[in-house]
Amino acid sequence: MDTQLEIPGVARLATGPCGLPRYEITTPLAEAHIYLHGAHVSHFVPARQAPVLFMSSQSQFQPGRPIRGGVPVIFPWFGPREGFPSHGFARISSWTPESLVQKPGGEVVLTLRLEPDDKARAEWPGSWVLHFRVTVGTALTMELEIENTGSELLRAQDTLHTYFLVQDVRNVSVSGLEGAEYYDQLDRMQLKHQPAEPIRFTGETDRDYINTTSACVIEDPGLRRRIVVEKSGSQSTVVWNPWIAKSKAMPDFGDNEWPHMVCVESGNVFDNTLEIAPGARHISRTLLRTEPI
């Protein structure tokens, strides 16, 4: 497999902080950075616009640790699991470049691949291959394809744990989840109902919405834009902001960075855990685009 795929003047494998290799993609449509560590998109800037993704200035860029910000790829479990890395091993694994193409319209499509090593096999049952396809254009499209290559049913959870850059989360609203049910991580995982109105942020928020397939819209009057998060193959949406105390407790997140981010994560968690038949594949697809307001 060619691990040195490049498109001269458009996409090159460069060295990011702490020596971690990353793809740097620059076209008239947009700019993006994608690390092999975690298949992590850390940067997406459509032409003449502000960055769409939030990155913490305190992020560590080290093997074995997740990058804080951008889009961590969560697989095969979501959240803490005693004795194992939080949010699974995909985001701290080294992925392999599989293909890199530029479409006639100028979009660049990078595909990375992950197969389990012995450690991953010991941490999660089943045989699988992941392909993560990122399309960089005026929109950013991310597709996580999970292929069950084993002879047993594969159970797994996934999310594209996207950190969005906002001017001040206290002035932001997230719509698309009106009336949905969610588990409140901050209230003993009680199942609650989102009222028929958008989410607004007045404190730490950590909610796992289930059975939700609609697009979400992040309305940010400060940056005068709307970010539209469209998805398919995803039944859950996680909404998270750590607010003050949790920010201080996170070593790789600045104490005062919380107003400038909100996570709206598309995936399949809890009641929506994936069950993939032998030989079958599942694709969780998320498209991010912005509109001026």
- The single residue of 161, 257, 260, 282 carrying the catalytic annotation is 161
Q: Which of residues 89-128 bind ligand BG6 (CB under 6 A)?
A: none
Q: Minimum distance from CB of 232 to ligand BG6 (Å)?
A: 20
Under the criterion CB under 6 A, does residue 261 sit at the interface with ligand BG6?
Answer: no
Nearest to 223 by CA among 175, 255, 253, 262: 262
d(CA 293, CA 287): 19
How many chain residues are in contact with ligand BG6, going by CB under 6 A? 9
Omega within 30 of 0 (cis) for the link into 97: no
Give residue for tokens 């803490």: 80
Does the active-site annotation cover 87? Answer: no
Give the nearer residue to ligand BG6 in terms of CB position, either 180 or 238. Answer: 238
Q: Minimum distance from CB of 199 to ligand BG6 (Å)?
A: 14
Nearest to 267 by CA among 244, 240, 227: 240
Does the active-site annotation cover 161? Answer: yes
d(CA 51, CA 28): 15
Tell which one of 15, 57, 86, 232 touches ligand BG6 (CB under 6 A). Answer: 86
d(CA 75, CA 89): 7
Using DSSP's 3-state secondary structure scheme, residue 20 falls into coil
Under the criterion CB under 6 A, does residue 164 sit at the interface with ligand BG6?
Answer: no
**Using CB under 6 A as the criterion, what x/- string covers residues 179-218 for binding ligand BG6?**
------x--------------------x------------
Under the criterion CB under 6 A, does residue 143 sit at the interface with ligand BG6?
Answer: no
Omega within 30 of 0 (cis) for the link into 72: no
Q: Minimum distance from CB of 262 to ligand BG6 (Å)?
A: 11
